Amino acid sequence: MASSEEEKRVAYCKEHNVHHLFELLASRLLVERPANPFDYLRELLVNVEKSEKKKAHDPTLIPSVEGSDGKPLRKLTLGTFGINNAGKTTIISALGGCIEMNHVPTVGFSPSRFQMEKFDLCVFDLGGGANFRGIWGHYFHDCHGFMFVVDAAADDAIIQESLDVLRGMTQHKYARGKPLLVLANKKDLKSFRGVEVVPDEFLKEILQEGSLYRVVPSCGIEEDKELEKGVEWLLDVVMKDFDTLEELVQRHTQEVKAEAKRKAEERLAAIRNSA
């Protein structure tokens, strides 16, 4: 009974992104330190609720889109990652033609969809808080390529943290071998330090041999040709090698499903043995 109750609690947390929500509330509260934390949290919760109502939290639940010939378009998924306040959501919003400067930090899985001639493109970002990054790996298998956003106007400590996180991400078995676009973000700020914050030697060291990558400066609060060209490069690379990448995605997805099934069977066996 205890195990069953625990599973219900875990399922509830996943369904409503409870752990992500708590992390967001705590981190924003400690950063802003408002005079009245209760009023601040109430307003923040309202903003988060409005934002989250527009989102799906599971890529497998996103319905297929049909092309002009009536056949389902092939799904192409790009994952966008980076630590908190790097500008991930603002970048994706700008790509969709909606420039917003005051985004609520992402809670959970936040997808944006773009219909192309032959592909149904899904670009998503995930919360970048330190306590949340552990869940990133649960989404890597579904990606054909990656964007990683670095706050290139930040101080040395923040940039080093970003590089450390990028290193960890690229070592994941479901991320290796897939194309990578690194965005040195916030080029509109005076403190912008250029694409040099992500050295080419560093990328060659951490990426699997033969992996395709590019680093471009970016800004998500105004029209940005460099950002557009960078994303066009990533899409071009993925589309040219789509069959190979799709085979990789399908294989990784089957591995993830098999592992989930194995763990579920183990839990069920443990419950039966304890009865």
Number of residues written out for the chain? 275
Question: What does the angle CA 39 – CA 128 – CA 248 come to, to the nearest 5 degrees?
Answer: 145
* 62 vs 112: CA distance, rounded Å: 10
Annotated ligand binding at 50? The verdict is no
Is 83 labelled as part of a ligand binding site? yes
Residue 67 is assigned to a ligand binding site: no
Superfamily holding 58-256: P-loop containing nucleotide triphosphate hydrolases (3.40.50.300)
Contact status, residue 56 vs residue 106, Cβ threshold 8 Å:
no
Query: What pLDDT is attached to residue 147?
Result: 96
Alpha helices in the chain (DSSP H): 2-16, 18-32, 37-52, 88-95, 137-140, 156-170, 200-206, 225-240, 242-274
Which amino acid would we find at residue 79?
Answer: G
Distance CA 268, CA 36 (A): 47
Q: For residue 263, say whether it is annotated as part of any ligand binding site.
A: no
Looking at residue 252, its pLDDT comes to 95
Residue 273 assigned ligand-binding role: no
Q: Is 86 one of the annotated binding-site residues?
A: yes
For the entire predicted model, the pTM comes to 0.74
Residue 89, annotated as binding a ligand: yes
Is 202 in contact with 169 (CB distance < 8 Å)?
Answer: no
Question: What is the 8-class DSSP label of residue 61?
Answer: G
- The whole-angstrom separation of Cα 75 and Cα 60 is 11
Classified as helix, coil or strand, 233 is: helix
Binding site annotation covers 84? yes
First to last CA, the chain: 9
- 185 annotated ligand binder: yes
Spell out the domain ranges in the chain: 58-256
Q: Is 261 exposed, middle or buried (0-12, 13-18, 19+ CB in 10 A)?
A: exposed
Residue 186 annotated as part of some ligand binding site: yes
Please give the C-alpha separations between residue 18 and each of 21, 24, 53, 123, in angstroms, as whole numbers.
5, 10, 15, 23
Residue 88 labeled ligand binder: yes
Residues 231 and 181: beta-carbon distance below 8 Å: yes
pLDDT tens digits, the chain, 275 residues: what are they? 455 666 676 567 666 666 556 666 665 666 677 888 888 788 877 766 655 544 444 444 455 566 666 677 889 999 999 998 888 878 887 776 543 434 444 444 457 788 887 888 888 888 888 878 888 998 999 999 999 999 999 999 999 999 999 999 999 999 999 999 999 999 999 999 999 999 999 999 999 999 999 999 998 777 788 999 999 999 999 999 999 999 999 999 999 999 988 988 888 888 878 76
| CA proximity to 91, closest of 216, 183, 193, 191 | 183
CB hemisphere CA count around 186 (13 angstroms): 20
Q: Is 87 annotated for ligand binding?
A: yes
